[in-house]
Amino acid sequence: MYVNLNGKLVEEKRAAIPITDHGFLYGDAIYETMRTVEGKLWMFDEHIKRLKASAKIVGMKVPYSKKEIREMIEQLLVKNKLKEARVRITLSRGSNKLDFGPAKNPTFLIQPAKIKLPPKELYENGISVITYEIERAIPQIKSASMLPTIMAYQHALKKKAHEALLVDHRGRVTEGSMSNVFFVRKGKVITPKKNILEGTVRNLVIKMAKAKQTTIKKRDLQKLDECFITSTIKGILPVTKINGKNVGNGEVGPITKILMKKL
């Protein structure tokens, strides 16, 4: 497999980043994950827009134009003979000694991989999720500092669940460890409003479903009729159990089904 490291095509096994890289030492990096659909990059503009927004917040600049990044990705897809692929872009401050100011030598990496989708039966029957009380620092950026979400996901695995819904110190549901979350209440689609990463698919579903952004408390989860999570790779994945208890009647809800067909 080939990757693009700082504008150069390199075999993945030969790609090297210095041990002084801030991304390695401090988690001082941001990233984006996108995918192809029928061989074409899906929602590419939205992902690049968010990458640049994240970079601005943390005081970095994306070193290549949107056109150059697209060309790099398309070159990698051809080189690796990939049609349906997952593509990750990582931008770190690079080797900057103890200077956390402007990135003088940023590291820019594009990694493609064959896409791995959830099994079909999960879309048909839904998944189980658990709640986990933890908060991400600066949730509005897609940070490579993923320890809180990794801890939440590990907890989900221990509980034999597919995902963890993060709950903040005020008891508010925010997002999934690797996803955004939506609920249906009395026929209306709702989604958490504060302290979240605004996912690209989340924004698409909000428009599609005319979803209301609001506060959702952990204590109210069992009063909701439907639930689903969203992500670039998974799309819309229905949730039928939260903390071992059925959501609604324990089956994929009608509104979730409609939205899955539309996406």
Which residues have a catalytic role annotated?
Answer: 142
Give the dihedral sign, CA 248/251/257/263. Answer: positive
Q: How many residues does the chain have?
A: 263
Q: Which two tokens stand for residue 164?
A: 């963890």
Q: Which two tokens stand for residue 1?
A: 């497999």
Locate tokens 């090297």: which residue? 16
Cα(234)–Cα(115) distance, integer angstroms: 10
What is the helix (H) or strand (E) element at residue 86, kind and residue range?
strand 85-92
Can you give the C-alpha Rg of the chain in angstroms?
19
Give the closest residue to 60 by CA, choosing from 19, 101, 112. 101
Q: Which two tokens stand for residue 96?
A: 């900057």
Cα(234)–Cα(245) distance, integer angstroms: 23
